[in-house]
Structure 1
Amino acid sequence: MEYLTNGSPRQTAGEEDSSHCFQRRVAMVSSPALSAARLTLPGVMDAEGRVDESRLRMHIFKNGGVSPSERGLAWRFLFGMYPCSSTALERPLLQEQLAIRYQVMKRKWQQFLPSAVRMHLNGTDAELVAAVRYFDQRQARVQQQALDQSEVRDRLTFLELQAQILFERDTFDHEELREAIRIIDKDVPRTNRDLSYYQGEGSGNLLVLRDILITYAAFHPEVSYAQGMNDLCSRFLEVLDSEVDTFWSFSCYMEKFSKDFRADGLHRKIELEAALLKELDPQLYTHLVTDNMESFTFCHRWLLLGFQREFEHSDALRLFEILSCDHLELISQQVDRARYQERLARKYSTEDNSQSELQAINTDFTFELFICAAILLDNRESLLRCRDDVQLIQFTSSLQGTLDLNSTLKKAEHHFYNYCKRCAWDYMNGRCSAHKSKEEDFLYQLRSLFVLK
């Protein structure tokens, strides 16, 4: 059985008149009202709608995320879909441009591989069969509403022409794209359908997710598609509830983290986790790197998907935005710069510099690694009883949905602070009392950067 995943079930991509059908498609996926909405977070948005990015990130970290009512708009700034420097008047025009560019991109791969426009099912998945029906009904309603927007047709047609020129030179590898779509069509039905967002008529959102992933794979061949991206992208779709906004926000996120979906990138992250645990708890590290437990692969899913299954769903969303605000990563860089200046001051002083140099903080130790370490240390005794990878995986799988986010955050922040503090004391210990005031001042500055709950 074949089911159409976008547009009318009786027409294929490219058969409609472009200026008319394009206007309907834009309305189908954009959210113009939200582009003019305002964040009520104190001190984050000015009178013209510009966002202070550092305040936004600080607010997310200090308050443990934003409220669900503010999350959709906050994520559009946090992940870079809206420039923080844009005004409330500028964003509706940006929204139109992004919507049209996305639709040109999607239409291009649909015309290149028309057989892939339809998702092939064997008819045994009743939920996906229903999803197609709900999807088509929703599309028909939105298309009918868009017919009344003729006054914007000329502007949209001009923007569409610009987008076509922009993507004119993009080409696709037939076999690579077909292989990516084959994997996407396997993974999309495995997306967590217990979420309310995919229940009832919302099951049609699975097909929206499919289109986003294929469009991303088609225009990012250096990344394409890897297993797990469906769960990551699903977060954006659920929160933003917009096909266009999800595509651009997901794309911005992947600019920074696409390496995590490559074997070498994730291997590097696991190596860093092992190195961090060695710093925090040498005994537990030594136990976990025995012959039977040498790869730390039990942390693989945690780090790849941002602990998506380890916390209750709403808390997992909250943790994702906390990790994405990069607050402690930015702080670690500030600390490292402060300590570098301290080394320079010592280097050019006339005092005895025979003692060891100040050990540099490893800024590759991102906050998610401290979250992972906090979970491991909190379950230290159980981990010490594990004797092989099978027992490790069984134990860590038993943690799914059981962890408390607020407690884990507090412990992770504590470990991060102590790690930085210990690095400073490695150099400060043993210094003569004459330098005490200078050392205390440095520690005060270091401490003031952290906001512990």
Structure 2
Amino acid sequence: MEDPSNRSAPQTAGEEASSSGGHQPAVRRVAAVSSPALSAARLSLPGVMDTEGRVDESRLRMHIFKNGGVSPSERGLVWRFLFGMYPCSSTALERSLLQEQLAVRYRVMKRKWQQFLPSSVQMHLNGTDAELVAAVRYFNQRQAQLQQQTQDLSEELRDRLAFLELQAQILFERFTFDSEELCEAIRIIDKDVPRTNRDLSYYQGEGLGNLLVLRDILITYAAFHPEVSYAQGMNDLCSRFLEVLDSEVDTFWSFSCYMEKFSKDFRADGLHRKIELEADLLKELDPQLYAHLATDSMENFTFCHRWLLLGFQREFEHRDALRLFEILSCDHLELISQQVDRARYQERLARKYSTEDRSECELQAINTDFTFELFICAAILLENRECLLRCRDDIQLIQFTSSLQGTLDLNSTLKKAERHFYNYCKRCAWDYMNVHCRAQKSKEEDFLYQLRSLFVLR
């Protein structure tokens, strides 16, 4: 996979975030509340968007995978489609109306919990963190500017927003909060937000105020999603969205859409299941390494916990970690599995009506629970196989995983993961060939070529 960022001049992480929407100045330090101009913005990806602004979702996701992500200048708009804030079937006109509605709904939701817990509106500071004190100051200055901007709106726009606000108030009127649970969530959020990576340029200078924007987003999410609430690690995940989208409103809705699918990963049973799948995959790919790591002293692959929970955020350089998150989120494996299943179905039909071959051999099922992030994880483990085989307990494993932070090469890892996935599909689909179906070899090789063409293997 080619790194799309190589197609233009290199950018820092903060510059990537600022240019991601294609409408902001070169350096953006304080997140916008919303980004209405993006609703009419166009993607330059070939064949992805039609003249009215509708997006071909399948092409978008496949483009992300085959091209190793998108360029930083396209990322903000792409993520709004990729994570579901903008429906791919929506036109540019429909999105402009949706943007207003989402902004008003978010504002009503945030105001509701703030009125319920007024003592939690401001983060309580102990005075020892000078940067955090500055962050609160920058954030309060930003809030005052927003109030002034609201007063400067045209009468027509104020009337339209007032109507949308009335609708939102009716929508959330009956929603109630559990005071104890929400206070506990806010307590943890106030511990985690200051731990967010402040070395990113997005949180430098006046950008420190974005830490408080992140806090408001997380509290609003926890308040209106009590079944999920807040768990440690969500701050780092949400920070990615805020940096790329550079908008409080758009980050809330995109993060919420993402969590609809992946909130289970923040529950013990969900992550335990993912770790079990990683162990199963490694057992398929390297039984010896699996047997070594599956001993009691190794705690059964729990050292992969952070990798899988945060999408390898610390193992790659920041720019590459964003790109990998984008690739992992495009659901290419699901698309590929659908094409594989169609081809397998056509093969079964061909055998059913063939007068030459009446054999009853069946294709081995492909485990579609093996998501691509598991193949990324396996590629890292196999690349470091010798070091892992020398580890004798969980302490050595933790030391090993810590040593990898920021050192991995994304393009190399992607190629290895793609090859492992391709070989896994190849073995599952065609193990029966040598025994039962030699006469079908030419057809099978043709199908194998189609499967391989879904990847960019070099």
TM over 0.5: yes
SS in 2 for 1:89: helix
Matched, 1:169 2:156: no
Give how far 1:446 is off: 2.4
Q: Distance in 1 between matches of 2:428 and 2:103?
A: 48
Which of 276, 286, 302 is 1:271 aligned to? 276
SS of alignment partner, residue 52 of structure 2: coil
> Which string of whole-angstrom CA distances, capped at 9 and with x for unpartnered residues, describes residues 371-407 of structure 1?
0000000001111111111101101110000000000
Count of residues in Structure 1 that have an aligned counterpart in Structure 2 = 426
- Supply the AA of the counterpart residue of 2:41: A
Distance 1:342 1:432 in 2: 12
Matches for 1:291-310 after TM superposition, within 5 Å: 291-310=296-315
Which of 87, 90, 94 aligns to 1:90? It is: 94
Quote the residue 1:421 is aligned against. Answer: 426
Distance 2:437 2:243 in 1: 58
Specify the alignment match of 2:142 in structure 1: 138
**Which whole-Å CA distance do the structure 2 matches of 1:210 and 1:155 have between them?**
29
Name 2:227's counterpart in structure 1: 222
Q: What corresponds to 2:329 in structure 1?
A: 324
The equivalent of 1:68 in structure 2 is: 72
Q: Deviations over 1:258-291 (max 9, x none)?
A: 0000000000000000000011111111111123
**Residue in 1 that maps onto 2:42:** 38
Q: Are 1:329 and 1:367, in contact at CA under 8 Å, matched by a contact in 2?
A: no
State the Cα distance separating 1:436 from its structure 2 match: 2.4
Per-residue deviation at 1:354? 5.8
Query: Is 1:118–2:122 an aligned residue pair?
Result: yes
Aligned mates of 2:353, 2:291 — CA distance in 1: 40
- Code of the residue aligned with 1:92 in structure 2: it is S
Q: CA-atom RMSD, angstroms?
A: 1.7
**1:160 and 2:165 are equivalent in the alignment:** yes
CA distance in 2 between partners of 1:251 and 1:442 (Å): 39
Q: Distance in 1 between matches of 2:412 and 2:319?
A: 15
- For 1:5, the equivalent position in structure 2 comes to none
Q: Tell whether the 8 Å contact from 1:333 to 1:363 is kept in structure 2 after alignment.
A: no
Q: State the TM-score, normalizing by the size of structure 1.
A: 0.91
Cα offset, 1:435, TM superposition: 2.4
Higher mean C-alpha deviation, range 379-388 or range 141-150: 141-150
Query: Where does residue 12 of structure 1 map in the other structure?
Result: none
Gaps of 5+ in 2: 1-30
Q: Deviations over 1:335-373 (max 9, x none)?
A: 134324534654676755465x32100000000000000
Q: Separation in 2 of the partners of 1:362 and 1:318?
A: 26
Whole-angstrom CA distance in 2 between matches of 1:274 and 1:383: 14
In the superposition, relative to structure 1, how do residues 344 and 291 fare at CA in structure 2: closer, same or farther (>3 Å)? farther
With over 3 angstroms needed to count, the CA separation of the structure-2 counterparts of 1:432 and 1:65, relative to structure 1, is closer
307-316 or 139-148: bigger deviation: 139-148
2:454 corresponds to which letter in structure 1?
L
8 Å contact 1:28–1:139 — kept in the other structure?
no
Q: Report the counterpart of residue 258 of structure 2 in structure 1.
A: 253
Query: Is the contact between residue 48 and residue 88 of structure 1 (CA under 8 Å) also seen in structure 2?
Result: yes
C-alpha separation between the residues in 1 aligned to 2:158 and 2:34? 15
Counterpart in 1 of 2:20?
Answer: none
Q: C-alpha distance in 2, partners of 1:434/1:310?
A: 47
**For residues 267 and 432 of structure 1, do their structure 2 counterparts lie closer, same or farther at Cα, with a shift above 3 Å needed?**
closer
User: Structure 2-normalised TM-score?
Assistant: 0.90
Match of 2:318 among 302, 308, 313: 313
Judged with a 3 Å threshold, the aligned counterparts in structure 2 of structure 1 residues 164 and 391 are, in CA distance, closer, same or farther, namely same
**How far has the Cα of 1:42 moved from its partner?**
1.6
Single out whichever of 138-147 and 420-429 deviates more from structure 2: 138-147
> Aligned pair 1:201/2:206, yes or no?
yes
Q: Which amino acid aligns with 2:223?
A: A
